[in-house]
Amino acid sequence: MRRFDGKVVMVTGAGSGIGRATALRFASEGARVSASDVNAEGLAATMGMLDGAGHHSRVVDVSQAQACRDAVAATVAACGRLDVLCNIAGFAGAYHLHEVTDEFWQRMIAVNLSGVFFMCQAAMPHLLQTKGNIVNMASSAAIVGQVYNAAYCASKGGVNMLTKALAVEFASRGVRVNAVCPGGVNTALTQSFRVPENPDLALFSRLSSLVQPMAEPGEIAGAVAYLASDEARFITGDSLTIDGGQTAS
């Protein structure tokens, strides 16, 4: 499929995992990709994997509002336009409530939620020009409570509602905004998942998916590409769950 020929797609968190898979998917479908990540080494590796030519990259810490504005401006300057924004940058961490430090809470909200807001705000004027769209990366943690994940649930729940609010605000102006809510995905983040001391294993069982094994990053990237494509022109304000039935009951 070449659903994104002539389109410019910006992907944050492109240095690894779902972000990298998403950047690769859009490039394979003809898009010119503007990839960003805070990890310069991972970002460079991703750029070396992309099909096609004319792609753009920039090291960005999305928790910084000005950095997000500069990144969007650099993308438009380099690529001439912006059609799709994919907000995938983020991180996770499981802790007992009493273990959550002020610094951890602030960083979680800054990266996972504020970064999405800053990028959307910076990109919207350009997306209004191209009648483009946004796909945000939320989580099954945005839909159901998850043990030892208070900060993460709060950040991803915020992404979910931010998505819906922007969808309502900009639908009549031709910009769609959707989210994807993955469950377990086979990424480095999942493989290095930290389990708190003395966990309640019965509560951890709530995180299990009905379908096994867990998803691969490319499967999530495929859903992102669908929501960003013209095939999904009648979908906005949606939170597409890809969690193997984790939130079904």
Domain ranges of the chain: 8-242
Per-residue pLDDT, averaged over 91-120, amounts to 96
Percent of all residues in the chain with a pLDDT value above 90, rounded to a whole number = 82
CATH 3.40.50.2000 assigned to domain 8-242? The reply is no
> pTM of the entire structure?
0.94
Q: How far is residue 125 from each of residues 33, 76, 175, measured CA to CA in Å?
A: 19, 11, 10
Q: Is 152 left (phi over 0), alpha (psi -120 to 50) or beta?
A: alpha
Report strand pairing: 133-137 vs 176-182: parallel
Contacts of 86 (CB under 8 A, 6+ apart): 9, 10, 11, 12, 19, 22, 26, 134, 135, 136, 137, 224, 228
Q: Among 95, 148, 152, 226, which one carries the catalytic annotation?
A: 152
Q: Which of 164-168, 184-188, 209-213 has the lowest mean pLDDT?
A: 209-213
Catalytic residue flag (residue 152)? yes
Residue 201 predicted with pLDDT over 90: no
pLDDT value for 249: 67
Residue 182's DSSP bridge partners are 242
